[in-house]
């Protein structure tokens, strides 16, 4: 019973503090989708662009769930929001790793081309 009371008091706090967060979350999701679409123009960069689009969609879903939670206080929506944020952060880690690998490959390719006298 103590856990439920803690959850309810935490949820009430999140409704008050969550409004500014929700507006930024939606904007970040849109930016992720736009930037991911731009990255999908290139063949190699599409490897990072596709997860970026999926991550943007997940954070927008989290926004929708938080908005629904603030209106209805349904803990189902809160749980879904946290699940979507979890997926978003995992995808962001994958995107960071992919981007880092592309950067390292680009640097190595540049060094090899410079040493071979091609550029």
Residue 105 lies in a domain: no
Residue 2 lies in a domain: no
Query: 24, 88, 95: which is closest to 56 by C-alpha?
Result: 88
Residue 36 lies in a domain: yes
Residue 52 lies in a domain: yes
Residue 108 lies in a domain: no
Residue 104 lies in a domain: no
Whether 98 and 47 have beta carbons less than 8 Å apart is answered as yes
Summary mean pLDDT of the chain: 83
pTM score: 0.73
pLDDT in the model for residue 97: 92
pLDDT in the model for residue 60: 94
Domain count, the chain: 1
Structural domain span for residue 65 = 18-94
Residue 28 lies in a domain: yes
Distance CA 18, CA 99 (A): 31
Distance CA 41, CA 76 (A): 38
Residue 102 lies in a domain: no
């Amino acid at each position: 019973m103590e856990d439920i009371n803690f959850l309810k008091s935490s949820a009430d706090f999140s409704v008050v503090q969550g409004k500014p967060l929700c507006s930024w979350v939606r904007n970040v999701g849109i930016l992720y989708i736009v930037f991911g679409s731009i990255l999908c123009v290139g063949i190699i960069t599409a490897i990072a662009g596709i997860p970026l689009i999926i991550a943007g969609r997940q954070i927008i879903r989290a926004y929708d769930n938080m908005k629904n939670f603030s209106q209805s206080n349904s803990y189902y929506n809160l749980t879904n929001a946290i699940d979507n944020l979890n997926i978003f952060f995992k995808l962001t880690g994958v995107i960071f790793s992919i981007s880092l690998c592309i950067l390292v490959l680009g640097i190595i390719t540049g060094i090899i081309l410079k040493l071979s006298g091609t550029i």
